[in-house]
Amino acid sequence: MSKTLNTVFLNDFHIKHKAKLFPFAGYSMPIYYLNGIIKEHLHVRELVGVFDVSHMGQILISNSKHNTSSLEQYVPLNLGKLEFNKSKYSFLLNVNGGIIDDIIISKIIINNNEFFFIVYNADRKTVDNKIFEKILNDYIYIHDQSLISIQGPLSYSSLSFLKIKPDMNFMQINSTNFQEQEIIISRSGYTGEDGFEISIPNIILKNFMDKLMKSTNVILCGLGSRDSLRLEAGLSLYGNELTEEITPVEAKLLWTIDKIRLEKCNFNGCKTILHQIKNGVKKIKIGIKSVTKSMLRSQMKIFDEKEKEIGFISSGGFSPSLKVSIGLGYVDINHQDNKLFCLIRDKMEKIEIVKLPFISHKYKKG
């Protein structure tokens, strides 16, 4: 029996704007519009693009002692000391240190109440929600608000056009009033560019979008270019680089973990993580580039000079900025040399290891 796809609130809006909709994580989502993925991608790098990412999970959790310590079992951050109006990139970890999901967690005040606000992956909703329901009390899933991502060097000015002046730095967050409704704005995104993600009540969303589209240089972008943008930015994607079998150490994301909590070893998987830091890991994430014109794709195998299989590609595709194929992958820790090959349709094609990110980040940092 085939499951029916969920639709986002803006579904009709996307159809009206000639979106190519495809199933993604159980949702019918715009993958690209009339301009196509490459043009949308380059537009975001140069100007500004708007993405509907309402398929993602949003939850507000009241900031209580119980909820803080419950979350800290899974999330390797000092949540008690997390400042208000700050966002952090983090994880839900399993007992083996594997990644259940990657999340953005923030602390905010809405109408004088303190909350944790978590944005998490659509694909992981069932798993994450089960955990939330098991460990938390007093929380609310946000179903009546969409999540709109505005990305690119002109994102601030396009919001100014709507009389929203989000004066904040990268990974800061605030709730503010727009047309008599409370909206949550954070300066973030997953493209490597300056940008904002806005959680906005559906009752004012169409109005918001129509106004935003009138701002100079704004175009609609789909999840296709969001993926190629995050790949160029060297950012990991759940299901590709991040899985329950991969730890933050292997994914080169150790920097996200709170050092003191790691020393105290008081969260899921901390023993594995400490062990990996001390003794090293078997596999490690790398960035790669195709030397030929062939496309690197996820699942392809990576080999050394002697044609010994030493890893796999976790994400691969075309880089519109660099005009070659790039990818992320995992290789045996002892084979981080530059003479690697990838098996592409029965041919061993040379690939190069590239320092991440492929395209440097342009976050607003004060």
Q: Which residues bind to another protein, rule: CB under 8 A? A: 20, 31-32, 36-38, 224, 228, 293-295, 297, 317-318, 320, 325, 345
Report the alpha-carbon distance of residue 31 to residue 270 in Å, rounded.
37
Q: Classify burial at 76, counting beta carbons within 10 Å of its beta carbon; exposed 0-12, middle 13-18, buried 19 or more.
A: buried
Report the alpha-carbon distance of residue 141 to residue 4 in Å, rounded.
21
Give 49's contacts (C-beta < 8 A, 6+ positions apart).
Answer: 40, 43, 150, 151, 152, 218, 219, 220, 221, 225
Q: How far is the CB of 126 from another protein (least distance, A)?
A: 26
Give 224's contacts (C-beta < 8 A, 6+ positions apart).
Answer: 31, 32, 37, 40
Q: How far is the CB of 186 from another protein (least distance, A)?
A: 28
Q: How far is the CB of 364 from another protein (least distance, A)?
A: 28
Q: How far is the CB of 213 from another protein (least distance, A)?
A: 22
Report the alpha-carbon distance of residue 154 to residue 270 in Å, rounded.
41
Cβ-based nearer residue to another protein, 178 or 318 = 318
| Tokens standing for residue 199 | 């959680």
Q: How far is the CB of 38 from another protein (least distance, A)?
A: 5
For residues 54-66, b (16+ Cβ closer than 10 Å) or e, as one string? bbbbbbbbbbeee
Look-up: residue for tokens 């606000």?
Answer: 117
Bridge partner residues of 327 (DSSP): 288, 316
Q: How far is the CB of 241 from another protein (least distance, A)?
A: 19
Cβ-based nearer residue to another protein, 186 or 225 = 225
Cβ-based nearer residue to another protein, 127 or 295 = 295
Over the Cα atoms of the chain, what is R_g?
21
Cβ-based nearer residue to another protein, 208 or 318 = 318
Cβ-based nearer residue to another protein, 122 or 324 = 324
Look-up: residue for tokens 């943008």?
Answer: 229
Cβ-based nearer residue to another protein, 76 or 317 = 317
Q: How far is the CB of 39 from another protein (least distance, A)?
A: 8
Residue 249 backbone phi and psi in degrees, to 5 = -70, -50
| Tokens standing for residue 137 | 């009390």
For residues 172-206, b (16+ Cβ closer than 10 Å) or e, as one string? bbbbeebeeeebbbbbbbbbbbbbbbbbbbbeebe
Cβ-based nearer residue to another protein, 131 or 359 = 359
Q: How far is the CB of 221 from another protein (least distance, A)?
A: 13
Cβ-based nearer residue to another protein, 51 or 91 = 51
Q: How far is the CB of 228 from another protein (least distance, A)?
A: 7
Q: How far is the CB of 229 from another protein (least distance, A)?
A: 12
Strand order in the sheet with 20-24: 6-7, 27-32, 20-24
Cβ-based nearer residue to another protein, 123 or 128 = 123
Report the alpha-carbon distance of residue 248 to residue 230 in Å, rounded.
18
Cβ-based nearer residue to another protein, 26 or 36 = 36
